[in-house]
């Protein structure tokens, strides 16, 4: 069975500082994908970044980067230069298995302080 664990229910970060949101995963599959999504207070789900299990380099998308440590089964999201608009829920998710099931973690609520 696949599982995503996000151990930080809530976090605070000062504006313009960097922040790391933790995500660990468990799967017996060799091929899988890891995703991060953002959910603002308005409720929509926004795709941020993707990392494949065979990717050797960490993924980056603008101010978002994914710190992928395969041996530790972790896929932490790093947000650089935090902005007030980054305040939101952040979810880590994994696709795996032949039927492409996608499982989510419980999320981390990030609040950016001016």
Q: Tell whether residue 62 is a contact of other proteins (CB under 8 A).
A: no
Q: Tell whether residue 53 is a contact of other proteins (CB under 8 A).
A: yes
The CA distances from residue 24 to 5, 34, 38, 69, in Å, are 5, 10, 17, 9
Residue with tokens 């991060």: 36
Identity of the residue, 82 or 96, whose beta carbon is nearer to other proteins in the bound complex: 96
Select from 8, 11, 50, 67 the one that contacts other proteins (CB under 8 A): 50
Q: How far apart are CB 99 and other proteins at their closest, in Å?
A: 5
What whole-number distance in Å separates Cα of residue 41 and Cα of residue 54? 34
Q: Tell whether residue 10 is a contact of other proteins (CB under 8 A).
A: no
Q: Tell whether residue 44 is a contact of other proteins (CB under 8 A).
A: yes
What whole-number distance in Å separates Cα of residue 74 and Cα of residue 94? 11
Identity of the residue, 48 or 79, whose beta carbon is nearer to other proteins in the bound complex: 48
What whole-number distance in Å separates Cα of residue 105 and Cα of residue 56? 24
């Amino acid at each position: 069975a696949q599982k995503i664990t996000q151990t930080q229910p809530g976090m605070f970060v000062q504006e313009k500082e960097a922040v790391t949101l933790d995500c660990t995963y468990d799967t017996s599959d060799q091929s899988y994908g890891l995703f991060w999504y953002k959910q603002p207070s308005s409720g929509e789900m926004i795709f941020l970044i993707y990392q494949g299990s065979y990717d050797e380099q960490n993924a980056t998308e603008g101010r978002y980067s994914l710190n992928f440590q395969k041996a530790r089964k972790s896929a932490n999201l790093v947000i650089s230069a935090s902005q007030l608009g980054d305040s939101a829920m952040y979810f880590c998710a994994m696709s795996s298995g032949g039927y492409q099931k996608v499982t989510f973690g419980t999320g981390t609520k990030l609040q950016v302080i001016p």
